[in-house]
Amino acid sequence: MREGTDRNPADGLEAWRRAAERELGRPLAQGERLLYTARDALDPGFPGQPPYLRGPRASMYAGRPWTIRQYAGFSTAEASNAFFRRSLAAGQTGLSVAFDLPTHRGYDSDHPRVAGDVGVAGVAIDAVSDMERLFAGIPLDQVSVSMTMNGAVLPVMAAFLVCAERQGVPWDQLSGTIQNDILKEFMVRNTYIYPPGPSLRIVGDVIAYLSERVPRFHPISISGYHLQEAGAGAALELGLTLADGLAYVQTALERGLQVDRFAPKLSFFFAIGMDFLGEIAKLRAARLLWSELMERFAPADPASKVLRTHCQTSGWSLTAQDPLNNVVRTTIEALAAVLGGTQSLHTNSYDEAIGLPTERSARIARNTQLILREEAGLREVIDPLGGSFYLEARTREIARQAREVIAEVESQGGMVRAIELGWPQRQVESAAARRQARIDRGEERIVGMNAFRSEDAEPLEVFSVDSSAVLGEQRRRLEELRRDRDGEAASSALSALSAAAEGGGNLLGHSVAAMRAGATLGEVSAALERVFGRHVAEARASGGVYGAAYQGDADFAALRRRLVGFAEQRGRRPRVLVAKLGQDGHDRGAKVIAAGFADLGFDVDLAPLFQTPAEVAKQAAENDVHAVGISSLAGGHLTLLPQLRAELDRLGAEDILVILGGVIPDRDHPALREAGVSLIFGPGTPILQAAKELLDLLEEA
């Protein structure tokens, strides 16, 4: 035996630990400890073999590359169609459709609640004719189509199927995915329509109908993406997503479907943020856990235990400050998705923290994937990181934490009951508030935003939509449709849909019949709403979390003293109503602002979602607030903010300030100030800065 070969490995590891801690001048943190505890990590196995930790296919990208999808929708079906056709010609291999907010929420474009949202954040779809224009000249038997749709999944999927019929494409030749993941909507994204019970029934009907009649189409994409975007860390995102998946499997089994009939068609959708190694480990842990969880249902087909996923680079990680840095961020995130073994990928454009992507930025985002696929050598090695001490240990740790999340959900009676109790929502909201505090304090450094800021960044071209023109055209087409269709046939089909909702029958099948008969998306949704009702969520924010991160902070304490002084002088604390306008349900920003302001000492009211300017103005006047803070993400601010200011003035509340925060291009600031907006805060504004500026105005009043 050669000298030294009988050395105890544990001794070497302990010596390394002591040396590292001497050099650092502190004990090793948990993530650093993973480097030397990794020898205890699980055996990663082989790609394409249970538990599929190293990938769902034995050859992975060496046999077939990931699908390049770019999530897009631009105002009208014609504009989106032109973008899709250019993208396919430029190397994109699948389509991913973004719908506008009225479509998500089940409203036709001429509904009075949605005037500021039509065509702004995606394509407006009111009828089968819009779907036909969207896919004109695109052979649906040759192109995979992914549709991010949940609340209005029935009329959208039905319109797609009827569109395929009119193209002459048999349904068994269609491939793609419909998101159909309603449970996460009740937690974070909020594009729900009906209460949880009926919504889960719809999910089951879609799975049953597509599994039988459209066999190549994935009937659900179980989404963690929006959980991360709302603030969840890797383990929380993963645990809640897989708990959602279990609920959907149980729903399908209760419908009498055999597990091997539908489970191989389930797909997932994860966000990929800037924790490069953590995101790789998360995707590996996802496959490991799903294989374990599906064992409960004793599938005979190994494919029933395989987790397949689409990934999208983070939108939340993009900064409005020095936005060209986002090209680098997206590249890092895309590389993590690929090394983690994704089946398809969308890369965000660098300007999405400012507005909708331009042609130039969308091309760079798509080319990011093409460069990774064609130039980086990633297709030459199957799972190149498998066996890394750190990565295997990190995978194990994320899996352990996610199991704890799943166990907590199950202890509460499953995901539907947990949502009703508000547990997952509170976990995500608290995580978002903690992270915002770390960023505001500079503990989490973001280049160009709170570290290494550039004062001479060049202004960017920002894409915008003429929403008034889109609204006018959609209204004209709806009027034409209702005039020319067989009204009696449409009415009869809608009545049959309502009857099925009250009794039995597959709701997607009845929705197909209604859309085929000329019904609109809004009419199909209303026929179901008459039976199920429309869900209204409780407005709340997690208090105490943001303030706890500022214990002992001099600036935080000084601002709190100013607020106490304001209350002593004026007889009450400053009161703010935090609200969103229109149909945008992304409420991370609103809830974090509400929580932070409350912890500082403001009286904070949080308005319900989906309010009109008139409704928000009425609540503000009745609650006698000093200011209304509007959180905007979806681009409707130029229409909705002037309406809010006018409504407040009409109610005699001219003294109530209007402040605005969110994705607001600089070029829109003059018009907004002209319309009476007192303060405008862009993405990345620290909460303490916003609070100070508002208090300055209130003290001057």
Is 43 tagged catalytic? Answer: no
Going by C-alpha positions, the residue among 347, 103, 317, 353 that lies closest to residue 229 is 317
Going by C-alpha positions, the residue among 211, 212, 199 that lies closest to residue 525 is 199
First-residue to last-residue Cα distance in the chain: 86
| Token pair recorded at residue 683 | 């993405």
Active-site residue, selected from the candidate residues 100, 117, 383, 584: 584
Is 226 tagged catalytic? Answer: yes
Active-site residue, selected from the candidate residues 580, 591, 626, 637: 580
Which stretch of 301-310, 585-594, 619-628 has the lowest confidence by average pLDDT? 585-594
Is 194 tagged catalytic? Answer: no
Q: Which percentage of the chain shows pLDDT scores above 70?
A: 95
According to the model, what pLDDT value does residue 3 have? 41
Q: Which residue type does 324 have? A: L
Active-site residue, selected from the candidate residues 104, 184, 218, 226: 226
Q: Evaluate if residue 445 carries a pLDDT over 80.
A: yes
Mean pLDDT of 334-346: 96
User: Which tens digit of pLDDT belongs to each residue from 655-685?
Assistant: 999 999 988 888 889 999 999 999 999 888 9
321: left (phi over 0), alpha (psi -120 to 50) or beta: beta
Is 104 tagged catalytic? Answer: no
Going by C-alpha positions, the residue among 53, 701, 131, 122 that lies closest to residue 399 is 53
Residues 630 and 658: beta-carbon distance below 8 Å: yes
Active-site residue, selected from the candidate residues 71, 107, 194, 248: 71
Active-site residue, selected from the candidate residues 61, 225, 248, 546: 225
Q: Which percentage of the chain shows pLDDT scores above 90?
A: 76
User: Which tens digit of pLDDT belongs to each residue from 33-67?
Assistant: 555 555 555 678 899 999 999 999 999 998 899 98
What is the per-residue burial (b if ≥16 Cβ within 10 Å, else e) of 33-67?
Answer: ebbbbbeebeebeebbeebbbbbbbeebbeeebbb
User: Which tens digit of pLDDT belongs to each residue from 7-17?
Assistant: 565 666 677 77
Which stretch of 374-383, 460-469, 482-491, 591-600 has the lowest confidence by average pLDDT? 460-469
Tokens 């179980």 label which residue? 222
Residues 208 and 505: beta-carbon distance below 8 Å: no
455 falls in which pLDDT band (50, 70, 90)?
confident
Which residues have C-beta within 8 Å of that of residue 118, sequence separation ≥ 6?
100, 102, 109, 124, 467, 470, 471, 474
User: Which tens digit of pLDDT belongs to each residue from 484-543?
Assistant: 999 999 999 999 999 999 988 999 999 999 999 999 999 999 999 999 999 998 878 778
Mean pLDDT of 605-626: 95
Active-site residue, selected from the candidate residues 586, 591, 626, 637: 586
Is 100 tagged catalytic? Answer: no
